[in-house]
């Protein structure tokens, strides 16, 4: 369960998030709906401990993200500006993430298959299209087989087939009892 209680974030005198409360239950795909600048990405950064709230709390299964022992195994995240070394291959990028978190390299090949990047696994990420980068970001989020997924604009750059694939993937993961949180796009 993701629990957000009276969460606020101010940048100077501007309120990016203002007294927001909600819960995300297991097995549910929950979307944020709101125009640009509504505070969707900020809320996700606050849940992920990448920014400090001005007030309120955000917890995952009762603890703050920073207190999770093996965070990649609990929460998978895809944020807007996914930084990937352009000279690295997709597979090497994932292997690097996996090694840092004690995840078996077998899992890297599983997620490459899952997101449809198997055939380009050894290509430089620098030559990837936006949709392929987005698939790589989704693969990174799935690497630790997390119970919770937090995805910001996950279908950005995906073609209609990709969007269809992504929706089915979310339904499938939710049916296994996971939670995911993403802005509806
Ligand atoms: N690091 C930051 N510094 C200053 N203002 C920010 C920062 N991040 C977000 N904001 C502001 O907070 C508001 C919410 O932004 P954001 O969460 O990115 O919205 P959304 O993802 O819904 O489009 C916007 O007005 C944005 O300009
Ligand atoms: Mg955003």
Cβ of residue 37 lying under 6 Å from some atom of ligand 1: yes
Contact between 138 and 165 under an 8 Å Cβ cutoff? The reply is no
The minimum-distance atom of ligand 1 relative to the CA of 80 is 21
Neighbouring residues of 18: CB distance < 8 A, sequence distance ≥ 6: 8, 39
Domains of the chain: 2-183 (3.40.50.300)
12 in Cβ contact with 36 (< 8 Å): no
* Structure tokens belonging to residue 14: 């501007």
pLDDT per position as a tens digit, 76-123: 999 876 667 889 999 999 999 999 888 999 999 999 999 999 999 999
Q: Give the predicted TM-score (pTM) of the model.
A: 0.87
Ligand 1 touching residue 36 (CB < 6 A): yes
């Amino acid at each position: 369960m993701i629990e957000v209680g009276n969460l606020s974030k101010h940048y100077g005198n501007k309120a990016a998030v203002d007294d927001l409360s909600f819960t995300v239950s297991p097995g549910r795909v929950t979307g944020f709906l709101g125009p640009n600048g509504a505070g969707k990405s900020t809320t996700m950064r606050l849940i992920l401990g990448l920014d400090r709230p001005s007030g309120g709390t955000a917890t995952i299964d009762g603890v703050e993200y920073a207190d999770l022992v093996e965070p990649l195994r609990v929460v998978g995240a895809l944020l807007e500006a996914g930084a990937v070394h352009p000279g690295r291959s997709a597979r090497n990028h994932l292997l690097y993430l996996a090694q840092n978190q004690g995840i078996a390299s077998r899992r890297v090949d599983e997620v490459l298959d899952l997101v449809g990047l198997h055939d380009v696994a050894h290509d430089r990420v620098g030559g990837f299209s936006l949709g392929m980068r987005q698939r790589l970001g989704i693969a990174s989020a799935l690497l630790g087989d997390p119970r919770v997924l937090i995805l910001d604009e996950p279908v950005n750059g995906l073609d209609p087939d990709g969007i269809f694939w992504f929706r089915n993937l979310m339904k499938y993961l939710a049916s296994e009892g996971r939670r995911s949180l993403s802005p509806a796009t």
